[in-house]
Amino acid sequence: MFLRTFLLTVALLVAGLMVIYRVDPSNPFAEAAVDGQCRTLDLFTAQDIAEIKYEHAEAHKRFDLGLFGSSRVLMVGSSDIKSQPSRFFNFAVAGMSLRQSVALLESLAAAKRAPRRALIGFDNMAMQFYGNAEWPPMPERLVHVYRDLIAPEAGQTLGLNARIRMAWRHMWTFWQTVKQSLSTSRLRARVSEANPNNETDCYGADGSRKQRENFAPTKITLTPPAKQSVPPGYLDHDMARLAALGDSEIIVFETPLAPGLVSADPISAATRSAWLAACTAHGLTCVPAPVTVQSESGPYWSDASHSPAAALGRYLAVLSGGIAPKQ
């Protein structure tokens, strides 16, 4: 009797928690658009922020331009990219992998809310990590798992070993999301409001995160990737997934590293060449990192892989400027 009651109580409480996580969170971006103040989302996990950005896009008419990627592009706002605030949205999430960007764009496309033109930041440095998508949540993510394991279009390049590794990575990612879910910080974030403020590191209405203004010009160093974790076959698979999204103009660009580090090491070079081959093979527009993205008078790089928002925004504006969005 005791054990049954104990287990039932725990199961009910866990089910309640899952229900809370399934309820759409409040939309801080819409609130920020109303009062012009930004919102701190520190307590939210990456999967929550992806969810909120998805919900925002779903509630909004289709954006002309969407920026996807990690913290390396998160600070680029509509003013940086010279776009009207209402027509641009930054879908990036700190720590978001290429695989997560693809999954988010696929979900948006399924909801007919994929931006007409999507700029997807490809993070060479981040390819040393598993980088499996943490969003959408289970059980929806099972579709991604199934497609990753089958991956018919990459049949020649993906051996059994790579698929077993991918299965293990999905289990690992699932466990990470379980751990994130069983925490008071995520629960608090989901049940509380994101209060308006004007601090740094908070999010504006366009989905971007404010960046501190001026970093001092300092020597910046970067530890090159120790390994390449994402098998080239899965890079090919992900590019194929993007190519299948016919309703959006997709530009995959390599996020720049600090000037002088672009061709730093053989692992980065091999990753870039594998990605470029896959990307162009699927007919996507693919842009490797430029040699320099910087401003001569500041703002300066905060570290070796996070370029200044204004400079990166100008670069991305040029990058996307020559391609007319589909009607």
Partner 1 sequence: MTFNQLEFLFIFLPLAMVGYFMPGLARFRPWWLVGVSLVFYGLSGWDHALVLCAGIFWVHLITRSDVVVGNRALTVLASIGPLLALAYFKYSNFLVQDVLGLKDDKGDTTFSLFDDVILPAGISFFTFQLVAYAIDRYRGKIKQHVGLVPLAVYITFFPQLVAGPIVRYMQVKGAIESMRTFRPKYDAVAEGVALAVFGLALKVLVADGLAQYVDVLSSNPTTLGPVAAYYLVFAFSMQIYFDFYGYSLMAIGLGRFFGFTLPDNFLRPYEALNPKDFWRRWHVSLSYWIRDYLYLPLGGNKRYLRNILIIFALCGLWHGAGFNFVVWGLFHAILVIGYRWTAPVWDSMPRIVQIALTFFLVSLGWVFFLFEFDDVASFGLNLLGLSSAAVVVPVTVEMWGYLAGATVVCYFLNPEKVTALLRRGAQERVLLGVALGVVFFSAILFLDRSQIFIYFRF
CB of 52 to partner 1, least distance (A): 21
Q: Which of residues 244-303 bind partner 1 (CB under 8 A)?
A: none
Measured at the CA of 189, the angle between CA 186 and CA 195, to 5 degrees, comes to 160
x-or-dash string of contact with partner 1, 145-184, rule CB under 8 A: ------------------------------x--xx--xxx
Among 1, 19, 160, 216, binds partner 1 (CB under 8 A): 1
By CB under 8 A, residue 138 contacts partner 1? no
Which tokens go with 198?
């004007």
Q: Compare residues 174 and 300 and give the one whose CB is closer to partner 1.
A: 174
By CB under 8 A, residue 33 contacts partner 1? no
Q: Compare residues 142 and 171 and give the one whose CB is closer to partner 1.
A: 171
Judged on CB neighbours under 10 Å (0-12, 13-18, 19+), 16 is exposed
Residues in contact with 249: Cβ distance below 8 Å, sequence separation at least 6, in sequence order: 116, 117, 118, 285, 323, 325, 326
CB of 172 to partner 1, least distance (A): 11
Q: Total number of residues binding partner 1 (CB under 8 A)?
A: 20
Q: How far apart are CA 261 and CA 273, in angstroms?
A: 16
Helix (H, G, I), strand (E, B) or coil at 250: strand
CB of 176 to partner 1, least distance (A): 10
Q: How far out from the chain centre does Cα 206 lie?
A: 15
CB of 142 to partner 1, least distance (A): 20
- Give me the torsion for CA of 265, 266, 271, 275, rounded to 10°: 100
Q: Compare residues 188 and 212 and give the one whose CB is closer to partner 1.
A: 188
Other Cβ atoms closer than 10 A to 57 = 23
Helix (H) or strand (E) holding 249: strand 249-254
Q: What is the sign, positive or negative, of the torsion defined by CA atoms of 28, 33, 34, 36?
A: positive
Mark 304-327 as b/e (b = at least 16 C-beta within 10 Å). Answer: bbbbbbbbbbbbbbebbeeeeeee
CB of 126 to partner 1, least distance (A): 24
CB of 188 to partner 1, least distance (A): 10
Q: Compare residues 17 and 287 and give the one whose CB is closer to partner 1.
A: 17
Segment near partner 1 (CB under 8 A); pick from 4-12, 24-32, 53-61, 285-293: 4-12
Among 9, 197, 218, 273, binds partner 1 (CB under 8 A): 9
By CB under 8 A, residue 185 contacts partner 1? yes
Q: Compare residues 185 and 218 and give the one whose CB is closer to partner 1.
A: 185
Interface residues with partner 1 (CB under 8 A)?
A: 1-10, 13-14, 175, 178-179, 182-185, 187
